[in-house]
Structure 1
């Protein structure tokens, strides 16, 4: 089903829901909110299909390991302090590579470089195909990281990072992901490669029943705002399962008694050095009513709420996303 057909289906469902006179108008999720959530979910499912196909391709390359290593262009990447092809002088057709000083076997890491060199055109194609993807990468047990598009790794990365110690690796390991499937990191986190606050889709790659690497797609919060929120007139806020704002319209965020936004945009706030995720958590709002609202949304799974205090008065319609542990709030101001 394409995006147009999905939108038509949503429209029909909304029409029949509204034709039922027994339902109060306040208990109907708005068409724009429903469309917003369903189309976002649809796009995220496409990314899930893509990352599954990508991991299958890497497994295929690894089955040709001996040939790929022996025939590889050994001069394609030149490493300096464990880093190859960084900006500003990077070849934009290739990824930036990083081998940590913690690598136990540098030859094993280099073999993995040669085996996965053919993956760069696919990384680039995915980055260019999906506007929402900010970077495509893998991190591996041999302490090799490959990331596209290239970035200023020399000034961003410490030489002795343990790349398996980050949540975008260990959340997909055997302990946290025994099913070995796709994993959405529902909590936003600061990207060590310097791209701000991101959400990630990750998937493990097993070779001979051993975890070799974790492949990932990153979505920056700025992209969520620019691609989705700026295309709706609704006062929408997206929060994760812990109540932290992932993205949102300025009026809606301020209505929830969270800190004032720099220059009235959440995107400029989250890219500043002073941003702290806990400051934008509904459970930490200065308003007791908002903290209670958060409990009713996340702990009690309520979908239709209202808030009235001295400063604001609005209704809230909530939809929980299927792919990822996020809640989409539509604030309707009175």
Structure 2
């Protein structure tokens, strides 16, 4: 009899606890489908861009196989230089790029020869930009420190002529150590463009002359365009993060709700154009909120797809869907109502 009473008491306590616990809320499947559709749109656009850039890369490498013939039969160069910077300015001639022979070049004569060789890229660059309106610029940066960027921009007032392009991620992420397959590479971290386009994301392709890395071909998206074209097109509070927790892009309200630093004028696209913005400041693992840091671990390390907030007064839950082929995650946060 005593044993029966003990068992009855235990069962009663279990029933009481279960009765007092709120059932786990079911997240509608259409919320995940919305994120998957957004990702699909971005991946399709990125895939088309990658395929087109790959075509440009093949043409570039074909030019290198004919470099001796090009040197012998080259036409007069349309470029004139002052202090290593081409003198053409934006709005003057839409068929030309901005070309820079940086002071960091190890061989000035070879750099000048590369300018002549790569003049043939101008028409290819212009056609690429016409086909890809989401791209903001296409460029080549060579191991000889020759930079060719289309369309033309105000180089003299923007670029430090002493910089070393090989020290930037849009160059070294494509080198053999980082990219032994020698194929296309998405750079998952946003960075400040030295050509003045603000915070951007890049797709790059190494260009080899035999076994030597001759140059890196690249194309850029701006972070603000990604926000406007994709994230602003759908109702909801979204952030795009990489596997390290860095916020690549996102709506201002979503970012601020995750206890990140305050944004200039509450507009993320203005913040990402500012030099004071630092990726480390906008990393989910650096959030002031313990729960947001837990959410980051939940999504990025444990690969789970939903997180319920218990302590954050303004947040209810968040969901996450990963990309395929690049270490990005799309997160939607849901405020308390």
Q: Shared fold (TM-score greater than 0.5)? A: yes
Q: Which moved more, 1:287-296 or 1:83-92?
A: 83-92
Matched, 1:159 2:172: no
Q: Which moved more, 1:205-214 or 1:103-112?
A: 103-112
CA change 1:125–1:228 in 2 (3 A) is same
Alignment-derived partner of residue 127 in structure 1: 129
- Structure 2 CA distance, aligned partners of 1:67 and 1:61? 10
1:25 is displaced (CA, Å) by: 4.3
Give the Cα–Cα distance (whole angstroms) in 2 for the partners of residues 179 and 149 of structure 1. 29
State the alpha-carbon separation in 2 of the partners of residues 266 and 86 from structure 1. Answer: 33
- Post-superposition Cα deviations, 1:200-259, rounded to whole Å, max 9, x if no partner, equal 111101111211111001111111112111211121110122111111112211211112
Give deviations 1:267-302, integer Å, cap 9, x for gaps: 011113432222211111111111111111111111
Corresponding residue of 1:268: 270
Q: Deviations over 1:294-327 (max 9, x none)?
A: 1111111111112232432222111111132111
TM-score by length of 1: 0.88
Which residue of structure 1 lines up, in the alignment, with residue 311 of structure 2? Answer: 309
Q: Aligned with 2:161: secondary structure?
A: coil
> In the aligned structure 1, how far is the partner of 2:162 from the partner of 2:276?
26
Equivalenced residues, count: 312
RMSD value, Cα = 1.9
TM-score for the superposition, normalised by structure 2: 0.87
Structure 1 contact 85–95 (Cα < 8 Å) conserved: no
> Using the alignment, how far apart are the partners of 2:212 and 2:63 within structure 1?
16
Uncovered stretches (5+) of structure 1, i.e. residues with no partner: 1-23
Alignment match of 1:79 (pick from 58, 78, 81): 81
CA distance in 2, matches of 1:324, 1:33: 16
**1:225 maps to which residue?**
227
Would you say the 8 A contact 1:86–1:151 is kept in 2?
no
Listed as ranges, the gaps of 5+ residues in structure 2 are: 1-25
Aligned to 1:102: 104
* Inter-partner Cα distance in structure 2 for 1:170 and 1:56: 20
Mapping for residues 182-193 of structure 1, pairs under 5 Å: 182-193=184-195
Per-residue deviation, 1:82? 0.7
